[in-house]
Structure 1
Amino acid sequence: MKILLVTGGAGFIGANFVHYWLATYPQDKVIVLDALTYAGNIESLSPIKDNKNYTFCHGNICDTQLVEGLIEKYKVNTIVHFAAESHVDRSIEGPDAFIETNIIGTHSLLKAAKKLWIDEPKAKGESPLEHRFHHVSTDEVYGDLGPQDPAFTENTQYAPSSPYSASKAASDHLVRAYHHTYGLETTTSNCSNNYGSYHFPEKLIPLVLTNILFDKALPIYGNGKQIRDWLYVTDHARGIDLVLQKGRLGECYNIGGINEWANIDIVNLICELMNEQFSNNPELSKKYPQATKAIDGKSQELITYVTDRAGHDQRYAINPTKSNEELGYKPQESFETGIRKTIEWYLNSQDWWMPLTKGSK
């Protein structure tokens, strides 16, 4: 039986992972540690609040003593580390929080894991405890790709270009160092852009969805032709599950959606699908009366081009061949099926996302 400490488990990807894990492995125990900053939402975990195998702890990963206490109290044998500051725009405006959480916070977790799983058993003349430290990273650590460049592999040289991606790259290196230097049993995964339920509304896809519902402008950076590889969040959870089951210790695995889209094309597709939703379901016009463009089938008229952000990478793409061959990983959702599920979730989950927009769209 696994006893998991999931950091950042009230965030977007973390919460989806927790839901996935408890549904897939109901005998396992999951302890969530989350500081509940702006992107952490305890309501994302409300569907499992009565699950006897779920425990929530409000706290910061930088508090090493707290982490040690949780590992010891619950006999944690697996850490899945999602907790991170992740919004590039915020990292440009205020990088300090990214250094604190993504680098110092990761080191705090590594120190606690090493102490409880390796050092203390050795001091008693015992073998290290069975354990795994899985670190969740991003494709952004690899930098930028040209239009014809091959997709990132696990051997691509790191070349981060924002304070966010630089902080994640540093945390990746720390995890690798703790494996090679101290023998901590680690794995790392680098993923594409995720989308799906419980996604904080400042990110592209939920921002577009919620803005359409209030006839708010849909801001497009520059020409909108920046390309990203998109991964449905539950496919990401499945990928991490496979890494935990089959991944080689000390190795990194790319988890991608095999699904490249230009930002402007995604926005146009969402507009089309939202127009379709309002056309096929008259009740939506009553539920969202401010969505006049969608009601009229003209959501695209909300698209607005804005000044590009500083250092905006033009293309990310992941090659998941290693994960496919070693782990049997393959995304189950196409972008069309995943984006439809995402739209339906947001249309039916106003109580979750509306407080995050402060009702002032």
Structure 2
Amino acid sequence: KERFRLTCSGASGDVDLSQPDVGVARFTAHQLNGAPVPDGVRIVAEFLPEEGLQVRDIRLSVPSIPLSALRLESFLGSDVTHGAFDGAIHYHIREEDGMPAVEVGGRIDDAELAELTQTAPYGPYQGNVSLTVDEARFADRLITHFQGRGAIRNLSFGSFAPLLQMPALDGAASFVFDDVHIALGIVHRLKLNGEVRDVSLAQLLNRWASGGATGTVTVRVNNFELIEETIRSADIEISVVPPASAKGYVERQLLLDVAEKALGFEWPSAIPKRMLPDRVEYVAIGARLIVRDNQLRVLGTHGSGGRAIVTIRDPIFGSEVAVAKERSGAIDLGPYVHEAFARMRSYRPEDVKGWIDARPRNPDE
């Protein structure tokens, strides 16, 4: 439809006209958009023998084929050269409003995100994706429902820097999605595990205050589960690694601004602020975030009793001093989650359609 088209050829089969009000055609085609399909694409179509030929329902069963055979270039704005697809495509006319709709189920293996997200906001994104689609429904060129699972590997963060209003963002992430259920722009269920690695500590801290820092941040996400507007569970480990063969440093003012203003920690009196050098050596930085039913607890990862979050080197005596420790009690994430869902509900499909239509087209489209 419009910029997306499937053409089957080299087909054989039969047409059943035994019913006066509807006909059924069953074919096996051995070419899809000009690409050979040795195992054949199976097609079942229902049509109305009125006013010529009016097709109301088409079902395609597609064996494993290169993703390039679907000819998505004109829709995605990029050549698709990686990945494979197998599954089913169902095109039909909805009874409730007479509008066309498409349902897709199947699997995409080893596709490159850069080829699939050329026209996405802040795209293209760099990474590799494999996806099992239990059900995806489209109407008026927009996805309305999605349920499935999959994995994203080596997702580069560079493309997301403008979205986060950052000049640059290093690092990459890999996630395994055990369950994803999205309907009408709202996430109803999300379950995942994954890792974020090689994020610059300076870039991360500069979200709150300016200044320099050395080292990289690693985040491990375990058993994250979101159901409706509740984070049922999450176990997130954050650790900072100093540069190889070097000590880790954070500039004095940046450390104070982040600790006191951004994170709300009270600076310990054991180390007067005026005694801190311009560059403060950190020994360890790490935290463990435990979430149960939108209640967040921030735990330490090292030091006495494993309660320290930030430990620095005393600039005078050289001893290790914990300047930020875990707190008792929990933080209610409910208001933040509800606000995020409120933003989702303000999503307008016509805005996305306008963005798709506004992108530059190739002369051949």
Question: TM-score, normalised to structure 2's length?
Answer: 0.23
More strand by share: 2
Q: Select the structure of larger CA radius of gyration.
A: 2
Larger relative contact order (Cα-Cα within 8 Å, sequence gap ≥ 6): 1
Tell me the TM-score normalized by structure 1: 0.23
More helix by share: 1
